[in-house]
Structure 1
Amino acid sequence: MDKTNYNHSIKCSVNQCTNHAEGDSYCALSQISVGTHESEPTEVKCTDCESFKVK
């Protein structure tokens, strides 16, 4: 994956993710999947980036 050609539509500050764009706060994927770990999510912290992969 070319991490210098990142997606300006997906902001990301999780440097520990293998999909994080090198040198900037963006995701290097063309799309991501967002999900939840709650049965009835009511707050931002209830959502997850399911495309996350640890470096």
Structure 2
Amino acid sequence: MSAISTVLAQAGISIFAISTYNTDYILVKARDLEAALQTLTYAGYEIAFEAGASL
């Protein structure tokens, strides 16, 4: 979570982080979604979507 949130913060993208027992979630505003996906892809992260998910 630290690495991903740092990458997004450096790009000026605000996040809301939620941690659970099983996983962590990083939420971004809808208006920042495309920029967040591009930023994370450029930083080397692979983005996976679940079947039926939409942007």
TM-score, with normalisation over the residues of structure 1? 0.24
More helix by share: 2
Q: Which structure would you say has the larger RCO, counting Cα contacts within 8 Å and 6 or more residues apart?
A: 1
TM-score, length basis structure 2: 0.24
